[in-house]
Structure 1
Amino acid sequence: MTRVAAVDCGTNSVRLLIADIDPAAGTLTDVERRMEIVRLGEGVDETGRLSPAALERTFAAMRGYAELIDRHGAAGKVRVVATSATRDAANRDEFVRGVVGVFGVVPEVITGDEEAELSFVGATRELAELRPARPYLVVDIGGGSTEFVLGSTSVEAARSIDIGCVRMTERHLKDGDPPSPEQIAAAVADIDAQLAAVRETVPVDEARTLVGLAGSVTTVSGIALDLPEYDPSRIHLSRIMAAQVHEVTRRLLHATRDERSRFGVMHPGRVDVIGAGALILDRIMREYGFGAVVVSEHDILDGLAWSLV
């Protein structure tokens, strides 16, 4: 058994997984799985820079994670990655120096293709038990980007595109409470144009099962399941029908901020961006013709953890 720690710093959240991995048995057991919404990518789409406030929120969360890593004896095997917002930022060196100061390791600012492969590994290791039809299209809807990965047992094709719940909110939906039909239409047009580009490199029509990852997807699942509070055990490997996704998306886009905050599964930090995140999932299912999505709580963090053994 090997104890490892993985940290994923995305556009919207910073997450930690401390896990025990048994390579011989092929098992990963959670010791700690944490998430804090820090909105690192706030304003990056417009300014091209990580703001001082966003950096400090992120480093504060990381300092708490570093304490947990030390407490659980995982400091010897730590991997830290950063994704969309940091790739786009002109001052990403400030982020790198801060992370080294907290964890003592250099964060890897990974490419969209690397992100896609790690997400695929993390998401699909447990799917064999469900026996869903292959190949899978694994979709990781982040804050600044969305990754599409097609494969059965390994990655066959992948594409990362610059649509995410934070980026689409800041571009199209931030001034409406709820957003206007015109704002929603502009977001749809932007998303659909990017989805058309995915087809250039990923043969999405070959996929037989859609697998959805990350907070936007798991929150939509929790609302569709009418959960009174966020319950990962109920959400993980749930199968949500397209009609349910469409209805949840409609409800979120027509709700005020206060109304969205009342959903029991809603993380407070996701209230402002969940409409855009749901809309991305909704358009993926409409444009690519999927009748259902299998929702996974396991993603790039799990892929990172497996990479350490």
Structure 2
Amino acid sequence: MPETPTTADFRDQVVVVTGAGRGLGRRYALDFAAAGAFVVVHARRADAAREVVAEIGHRGGHAVPVVADARDGAAIVAGALAEGGRIDALVVNAGAVRDRSFGRMTADEWHEVVDVHLGGAYAVTAAAWPHLCTQRYGRIVLTTSGAGMHGNFGQANYAAAKAGIIALAKTLAIEGARFGIGVNAVAPMAHTGMTDGVFDDDLRAGLPAESVSPFVLALAHPACTRGGAVLETGGGWAAELRWERAAGVRFDTGTLTPAAVLADLERLGDFTTGSTHPATTADCLDVALGR
């Protein structure tokens, strides 16, 4: 076990933060720089990226802007390597919402949100992956949401993308472990421009971006040994989320019919006794076979 650090020091670390022009991404960039990192500040708008870089510079930190669409992972990573020479940590934060009930949602609204969140996470991570594998070290923090776990009215596009990011993080954690790459996901709850229209005064006051950032920095730190975790956090509180499986019902295959399933449908969702916490696809196969 590595020794637990007394400070979260990021000196000599190059950290890329996507969507860092405002909101949570801006907060992450400022805090990484304050901890000593050389921060690559990605934003879609040049003025937003440069403002954050200037703010970091005024505080004595070091940062450079990279301007690109969140889905252009190759451009983001190329800019980061050109300016920083390496990438030690990647925080994928860029996102957008186009909220509308599913029956009224257009194909463009669906594709744009899924492409920015899930497609953007894929694109920038795929571009950085060969570099991280070659150097045999890296930390990746992807951004999901409670909507990806539970769904949310008017956010079918956003929720679907965020659920995909959970699966992406868990798969990359498995594949990256042998290369020293730690991959986790964070589900932040914070008052930002994206949530301002749906948060009431209590939520705005109780969920500042500053209370999420320390958890993201911890997941991106060299001392973090977790992989495949989904960390829900807001207001200074955090907890890891995991899957739970009900005890289930084993039917007699000789008499198994749709009617038999309907008769016991409620019991399939009974979590009161005998529930388990599957963690791998092998766990799924084992329980199906009664092993």
TM-score normalised to structure 1 length: 0.30
Whichever of the two has the greater Rg, that structure is 2
TM-score normalised to structure 2 length: 0.31
Q: Going by fraction, where is strand more abundant, 1 or 2? A: 1
Higher relative contact order (CA 8 A, sep 6+): 1
